């Protein structure tokens, strides 16, 4: 039987080489397989420990990717070798930075299997889903290398369960553990004497969880959304899927008060014709929209109300909800979405229509500090997996009841610099009305007596009271300690959103449920229903934005040295010797070296993203002779090429509206008076140099606070924050 198998592989090899003469895709595979051994010899060091992960193609890679990235996080001592059989996988993912080496898998001949394993000598081998290469499995078994298969699925018609499938059944016995997707697969294997089986589910669920934790912008997602109402989109679903989720949604109306299947907007001539009905085997796209209607049965929408999207005649009409804002606010340069599987209406563009529909109250889950994605399948090095589960949470109901409702804002600590900038933004914010501004020291004074730059824009006095039941969101702009004191002495309405600009709640604690409010890190938590947000510190914003892409890719493996020069407004509006013009002008000084109060939140944030990070962050802050802004420069060890580093940064910030990678060293004046962060990268010798500039009062304070408010209330992220720098 082995002889017949090897003969079949040889004939297949010959057929592939013949096909490569006319097929460019096959030619790439043949060429890539021929280069594999040489690539491994030039890359793999004998003293390095490798885990070999093999995926047939791109789909299998996506199933194996969560395990690869978890291995990266939890076992940084191990290297990853990733192999593909198909060009569809290799040509797309050959630059995947989660693996140390990515190559084609040579055809399964005895000689190739021996040579491949002689060079790589992995400590563990992991195959994904449908990979049963006899010679490789035999060699792994003979060498005592633990071998696993994940996300495997078996069906009765496969050769393993045929009377003549003895050789193939023997190969299954070479796996130390088979992690299968369902009970049927386990039962089939048990029937042929294979008992080292664990039902661990499909790692595609893990991949979806990972995607949801790192949002990706998709142009046009606003078509699905309503301003204050979450939307569930079921993309390319099948009849069997619909039989599960539609009854579930009907039984759980708190998730979706009503459902509508939207018809495509067709040309007038075609609008009257019915859309062809899909066959039972065709796929479809549905969305469950939380709307004012209390009906639970799907109802067709008119062509005039539907979105301008088409589907092919073999599919049902795409379920696309109309855009829902009549307000003419500025368009976003990117349209981020929470994920392709569950899209929040919070990321939307304005409609060009003059009217907008009425909606029901927003349903939203109240979150505590963002947690890590649920544990799924444990490292292949471990003996047993943890398993995974899919859960649905019960949202709470927020205050907003209609599209045209304005967000009512209250501010405490209204006399400081941050509050002044916050007022400047909110006065011009199209979806906000300011109810009251509280100040202990300035009660009954006109706001423009303190913030003179707002003359002609606001005619209010500072309030001595704080009626929390009259507002939807509270901004705390008080000095350190006063936010906690204030909130501890008042009754907080359940649906009140709170954004704290002080540092009272930045570090996680069992005593509070504040989410760390850096949108480039925790946007998901805020758009998914967080109520309380702790704005990050201004220096922390600059440094974290400099380092997050490296941390996300597990590349912070040396001490980090940072110098940050801050403007006078970083010290607040309270008068002190170091804020006087005579002292500050033409002067610079180091303060709190290696002990700045924002260092703990920086270290914690980086460690949350890269759990293996244990190096030092050596921060030397300096007071600069200018009013506002922060310029930070960091350097660290790096052995990756500059183009690759730039690619990682551009990928990370691709769907974020306020952080940009620039080609020349930025000036402070490029960002002062804006909510932007500009980052410049350079590699000098073995060091990576990173420079970042922000406005400490906007990106480091009030601007990020308003950005967080936009996320909490489902507004477009740029709303109210499009500002020009004061460069000239």
Backbone angles phi, psi at 378, to 5 degrees: -70, 170
Longest dimension (CA), the chain: 94
Give me the torsion for CA of 626, 501, 655, 641, rounded to 10°.
50
The whole-number pLDDT of residue 254 equals 66
For residues 453-472, give the mean pLDDT: 94
Q: Which of 355, 287, 282 is nearest to 312 (CA)?
A: 282
Task: Give the pLDDT band of residue 339 (cuts 50, 70, 90).
Answer: very low
For residues 281-305, give the mean pLDDT: 36
Residue 344 has pLDDT above 70, yes or no: no
Contact 132, 140 (CB under 8 A): no
pLDDT above 70 coverage of the chain, percent: 74
DSSP states along 217-281: E-TTGGGG-BTTB-EEEEEEE-HHHHHHHHHHHHH-TTT-S---BPPP---HHHHTSPPPPPPTT
Q: Which two tokens stand for residue 620?
A: 């030397």
Strand stretches in 326-462, DSSP E: 336-337, 363-364, 396-397, 407-412, 432-438
More confident residue, 662 or 158: 662
The whole-number pLDDT of residue 286 equals 41
Question: Does residue 290 carry a catalytic annotation?
Answer: no
Residue 329 has pLDDT above 50, yes or no: no
The whole-number pLDDT of residue 680 equals 98
Q: How far apart are the first and last CA of the chain?
A: 80
For residues 578-605, give the mean pLDDT: 89
Tens digit of pLDDT for each residue in 39-89? 999 989 888 999 999 998 888 888 888 889 888 888 888 999 999 998 888
pLDDT above 90 coverage of the chain, percent: 47
CA dist., res. 594 & res. 441, Å (int)? 34
Task: Give the pLDDT band of residue 235 (cuts 50, 70, 90).
Answer: low
The whole-number pLDDT of residue 20 equals 84
The whole-number pLDDT of residue 288 equals 38
Neighbours of 493 (CB within 10 A): 14
The whole-number pLDDT of residue 82 equals 95
Q: Which two tokens stand for residue 226?
A: 């309503």
Residue 489 has pLDDT above 80, yes or no: yes
The whole-number pLDDT of residue 210 equals 65
The whole-number pLDDT of residue 231 equals 66
Task: Give the pLDDT band of residue 285 (cuts 50, 70, 90).
Answer: very low
Contact 719, 710 (CB under 8 A): yes
The whole-number pLDDT of residue 283 equals 38
What is the Cα gyration radius of the chain?
29
Residue 316 has pLDDT above 60, yes or no: no
CA dist., res. 474 & res. 478, Å (int)? 12
The whole-number pLDDT of residue 46 equals 86
Task: Give the pLDDT band of residue 526 (cuts 50, 70, 90).
Answer: confident
CA dist., res. 397 & res. 417, Å (int)? 34
Backbone angles phi, psi at 467, to 5 degrees: -70, 90
Residue 204 has pLDDT above 80, yes or no: no
Residue 358 has pLDDT above 80, yes or no: no
Task: Give the pLDDT band of residue 273 (cuts 50, 70, 90).
Answer: very low
Tens digit of pLDDT for each residue in 557-576? 999 999 999 998 877 666 67
For residues 94-109, give the mean pLDDT: 90
In eight-state DSSP terms, residue 446 is B
Task: Give the pLDDT band of residue 466 (cuts 50, 70, 90).
Answer: very high
More confident residue, 9 or 591: 591
For residues 537-552, give the mean pLDDT: 96
For residues 498-507, give the mean pLDDT: 94
> In DSSP terms, which residues pair with 233 in a beta bridge?
287
Task: Give the pLDDT band of residue 149 (cuts 50, 70, 90).
Answer: very high
CA dist., res. 75 & res. 48, Å (int)? 13
Residue 456 has pLDDT above 80, yes or no: yes
**Structure pTM?**
0.55
Q: Please report, for the chain, how many H helices and E strands are present, in that order.
A: 20, 26
Residue 432 has pLDDT above 80, yes or no: yes
Element at 212 (helix H, strand E): helix 204-213
The whole-number pLDDT of residue 159 equals 87
For residues 663-690, give the mean pLDDT: 95
The whole-number pLDDT of residue 727 equals 67
Q: Which residue has the tokens 């471990």?
A: 382
Strand pairing category for 216-217 and 336-337:
antiparallel
Task: Give the pLDDT band of residue 537 (cuts 50, 70, 90).
Answer: very high
Of these residues, 256, 538, 638, 677, which one is catalytic? 538
Task: Give the pLDDT band of residue 397 (cuts 50, 70, 90).
Answer: very low
Lowest mean pLDDT among 192-206, 234-248, 655-669: 234-248
CA dist., res. 124 & res. 53, Å (int)? 9
More confident residue, 247 or 362: 247
| Averaged pLDDT score across all residues of the chain | 78
Tens digit of pLDDT for each residue in 178-188? 999 889 999 99
For residues 645-655, give the mean pLDDT: 93
Residue 726 has pLDDT above 80, yes or no: no
Tens digit of pLDDT for each residue in 574-589? 667 777 777 778 889 9
> How big is the CA angle at 599 (ends 598 and 605), to the nearest 5 degrees?
95
Contact 624, 588 (CB under 8 A): yes
More confident residue, 449 or 312: 449
> In DSSP terms, which residues pair with 127 in a beta bridge?
54, 149
Q: Which residues of 178-216 are buried (b: 16+ CB within 10 A; e: fewer)?
A: bbbbeeebbebbeebebeebbbbbbbbbbbbbbbbbebe
Residue 255 has pLDDT above 90, yes or no: no
CA dist., res. 3 & res. 109, Å (int)? 11
**Dihedral sign from CA coordinates of 650, 707, 556, 632:** positive
Q: Output the CA–CA distances (angstroms, integers) from residue 334 to 343, 466, 658, in the order listed.
A: 15, 37, 10
For residues 650-657, give the mean pLDDT: 92
CA dist., res. 437 & res. 415, Å (int)? 9
Residue 328 has pLDDT above 70, yes or no: no
């Amino acid at each position: 039987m082995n002889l017949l198998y090897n003969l079949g592989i040889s004939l297949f090899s010959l057929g592939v080489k013949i096909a490569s003469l006319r097929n460019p895709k096959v030619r790439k595979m043949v060429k890539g397989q021929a280069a594999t051994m040489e690539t491994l010899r030039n890359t793999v060091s004998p003293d390095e420990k490798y885990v070999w992960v093999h995926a047939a193609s791109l789909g299998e890679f996506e199933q194996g990717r969560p395990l690869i990235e978890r291995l990266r996080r939890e076992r940084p001592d191990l290297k990853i070798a990733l192999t593909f059989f198909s060009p569809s996988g290799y040509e797309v993912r050959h630059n995947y930075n989660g693996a140390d080496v990515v190559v084609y898998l040579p055809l399964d001949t005895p000689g190739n299997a021996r040579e491949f394993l002689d060079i790589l000598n992995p400590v563990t081998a992991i195959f994904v889903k449908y990979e049963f290469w006899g010679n490789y499995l035999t060699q792994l078994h003979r060498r005592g290398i633990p071998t696993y298969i994940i996300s495997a699925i078996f069906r009765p018609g496969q050769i393993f369960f045929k009377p003549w499938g003895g050789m193939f059944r023997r190969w299954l016995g070479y796996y130390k553990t088979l992690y299968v997707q369902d009970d049927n697969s386990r039962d089939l294997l048990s029937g042929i004497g294979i008992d080292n089986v664990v039902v661990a589910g499909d790692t595609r669920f893990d991949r979806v969880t990972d995607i949801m934790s790192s949002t990706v912008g998709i142009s046009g997602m606003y078509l699905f959304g309503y301003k204050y109402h979450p939307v569930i989109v079921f993309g390319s679903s099948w009849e069997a899927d619909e039989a599960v989720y539609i009854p579930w949604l009907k039984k759980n109306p708190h998730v979706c008060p009503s459902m509508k299947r939207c018809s495509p907007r067709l040309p007038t001539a075609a609008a009257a014709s019915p859309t062809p009905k899909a066959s039972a085997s065709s796929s479809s796209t549905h969305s469950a929209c939380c709307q004012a209607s209390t009906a639970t049965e799907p109802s067709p929408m008119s062509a005039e109300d539907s979105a301008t999207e088409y589907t092919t005649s073999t599919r049902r009409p795409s379920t696309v909800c109309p855009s829902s804002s009549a307000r003419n606010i500025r368009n976003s340069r990117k349209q981020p979405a929470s994920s392709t599987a569950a899209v929040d209406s919070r990321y939307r563009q304005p409609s060009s229509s003059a009217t907008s529909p009425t909606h029901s109250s927003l349903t939203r889950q109240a979150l505590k500090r963002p947690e890590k994605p649920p544990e799924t399948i444990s490292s292949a090095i471990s003996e047993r997996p943890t398993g995974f589960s899919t859960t649905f949470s019960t949202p709470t109901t927020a205050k907003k009841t209609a599209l045209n409702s304005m967000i009512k804002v209250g501010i405490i600590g209204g006399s400081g610099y941050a509050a002044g900038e916050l007022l400047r933004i909110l006065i011009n914010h199209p979806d906000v009305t300011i109810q009251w501004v509280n100040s202990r020291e300035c009660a009954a004074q006109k706001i423009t007596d303190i913030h003179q730059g707002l003359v002609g824009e606001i005619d209010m006095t500072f309030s001595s009271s704080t009626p929390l039941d009259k507002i939807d969101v509270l901004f705390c702009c008080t000095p350190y300690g006063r936010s906690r004191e204030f909130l501890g002495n008042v009754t907080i309405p359940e649906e009140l959103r709170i954004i704290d600009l002080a540092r009272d709640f930045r570090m996680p604690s069992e005593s509070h449920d504040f989410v760390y409010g850096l949108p480039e890190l925790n946007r998901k938590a805020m758009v998914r229903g967080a109520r309380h947000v702790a704005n990050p510190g201004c220096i922390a914003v600059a440094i974290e934005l400099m380092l997050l892409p490296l941390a996300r890719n597990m590349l912070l493996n040396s001490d980090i040295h940072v110098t940050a020069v801050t403007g006078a407004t970083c010290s607040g509006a309270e008068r002190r010797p170091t804020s006087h013009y005579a002292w500050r002008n033409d002067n610079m000084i180091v303060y709190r070296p290696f002990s700045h109060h924002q260092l703990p939140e920086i270290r914690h944030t980086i460690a949350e993203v890269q759990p293996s990070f244990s190096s030092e962050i050596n921060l030397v802050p300096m007071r600069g002779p200018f009013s506002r802004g922060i310029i930070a420069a960091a350097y660290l060890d790096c052995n990756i090429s500059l183009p690759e580093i730039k690619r990682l940064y551009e990928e990370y910030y691709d769907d974020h509206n306020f952080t940009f990678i620039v080609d020349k060293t930025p000036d402070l004046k490029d960002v002062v008076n804006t909510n932007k962060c500009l980052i410049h990268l350079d590699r000098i010798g073995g060091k990576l140099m990173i420079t970042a500039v922000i406005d400490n009062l906007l990106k480091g304070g009030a601007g990020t606070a308003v950005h967080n408010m936009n996320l909490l209330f489902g507004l477009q992220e740029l709303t109210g924050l499009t500002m020009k720098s004061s460069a000239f």
